[in-house]
Amino acid sequence: MRKFTMFFMSSLICLCGCFMACSGNSDDNEVPDNGEVTGPITLTVDKAKIEANGTDMATFTVTDANGKVLTTSEYIKNVYFEDLTTGDYLERRTCTFSAVENGTHKFKAYYLDWESDEVSVTVQNRKNYELFYRKVGVFKMTGTWCTYCPAMTSSLKKVEEKIPGRMVKMAFHSSSSSDTDPFHLSQTSTIMSRFGASGFPTCIYDLKVMSIDRNVSVIKQTLQDQIRKYPATCGIKVNTSYNTSIGEITVNAALKSSRGGEYDLVYVLVTDGLTASGGNESSYDYTVRAISNNYLSMSTDGRFTVNANEEHTAATFTISNAKNLNPATSRVVVYALRKVDDAYMVDNITECSINGSIDYLYND
């Protein structure tokens, strides 16, 4: 059994699955119907159930009191569809809905001053298309001195409230040319250089997509796009123990793949509730305190190949010099790297308390 040791970085060295089809221009203004449409309106859907594969679609039709179809090109400018379950609206000029997460969605249609009764669409059988529950790794580049970083923190929190359990956040701090960040990591600049990032805050999703956008809707869509485009091919199981007397965390992880392939596991220690004198936020959560060296690409001696539906147990990983940690606010994050489109990305990610365990998470 191999044993790795990872040390803290010096504190003062200078990270709904619902998708709505879109077509046409969403900026069109409403056009009066000139009395051609008679209320009330009726909403119908061609499928009460769809498969959770992101391609099976339910198509909505809206008609007026005389049976005139309003989901044609002539009238659809004035039609809106609301997903009452999520609070989202379908994009303008569309009448189809698809998803990659199980659940029942209730919809209403609106045409000018009229609204329809509700119809329901049930999304089912995600496990037939993705065995393991997928989470997105959010690599947030930040600094205690950063003026706009609190807005990114707030936006990520709001997104998490909208689609809970779909992301694992890691805050990589950096000092500026004029201000020292007590949680500075040298790896922050390496990650930013790899992706051509130059400003703070910046988020990199799954080591695949970089964005500086702090808009809640945009972040939510980015997460959903990652989940839809890159289904998880593996799950991760973690068991940790924290020896307070010597300040050492022992991590045992295993990976199970649904289709087989080459992977590598990355280990990260994060802490919540940190404070910094003069910082722009009252406290700093999911702050990266230490990370294994293979955080961007597979290591030569750590990568492994696993067959489909088989489990690989990784070598014991040790995080040293980890004294005075609070198990209630510190966690170990483990993510699996896989090569996609000739580049390494996060296939799946999980997190576990420093004295606990987390089993594989499966889709229903």
Position 274: which residue type?
Answer: L
Report the pLDDT value the prediction gives residue 32, as an integer from 0 to 100. Answer: 53
Average pLDDT taken over every residue of the chain = 91
Q: Which residue has the higher pLDDT, 30 or 114?
A: 114
CA gap 10, 276 in Å, rounded: 15
Check whether 209 has a pLDDT greater than 70.
yes
**pLDDT in the model for residue 194:** 96
Cis preceding-peptide flag for 40 (omega within 30 of 0): yes
**What is the Cα–Cα distance from 115 to 109, expressed in whole angstroms?**
6
pLDDT band at 34 (very low <50, low <70, confident <90, very high): low
Tokens of 61: 């039709």
Neighbours of 216 (CB within 10 A): 16
Distance CA 293, CA 212 (A): 25
CA distance 349 to 136: 7
Contact of 101 with 123, CB cutoff 8 Å = yes
Give Cα separations from 220 to 19, 136, 138, 157, 235 (angstroms). 11, 11, 12, 11, 23
Per-position b or e across 49-81, b if 16+ CB within 10 A of its CB? ebbbbbebbbebebbbeeebebbeeebbbbbbb
Report the pLDDT value the prediction gives residue 11, as an integer from 0 to 100: 36
- The Cα diameter of the chain in Å comes to 79
Mean pLDDT of 337-345: 96
Summarize pLDDT for 275-303 with one digit per residue, the tens: 999 999 999 999 999 999 999 999 999 99
Q: Which residue has the tokens 């929190």?
A: 157
Dump pLDDT digits (tens) for 54-88.
999 999 999 999 999 999 999 999 999 999 999 99
pLDDT tens per residue, range 118-169: 999 999 999 999 999 999 999 999 999 999 999 999 999 999 999 999 999 9
What Cα–Cα distance (Å) separates residue 121 from each residue in 89, 96, 124, 162, 256? 15, 11, 10, 19, 32
Residues belonging to the chain: 364
Q: What's the pLDDT tens digit per position in 238-261?
A: 999 999 999 999 999 999 999 999
CA angle 165, 168, 171 (to 5 degrees): 145
State whether residue 213 is helix, strand or coil.
coil
H or E stretch including 222?
helix 216-229
The pLDDT value recorded for residue 36 is 86
Q: Which two tokens stand for residue 344?
A: 């390494």
In the chain, the N- to C-terminal Cα span, in Å, equals: 35
pLDDT(93) > 60 = yes
Burial of residue 281, with CB atoms counted within 10 A of its CB: 0-12 exposed, 13-18 middle, 19 or more buried: middle
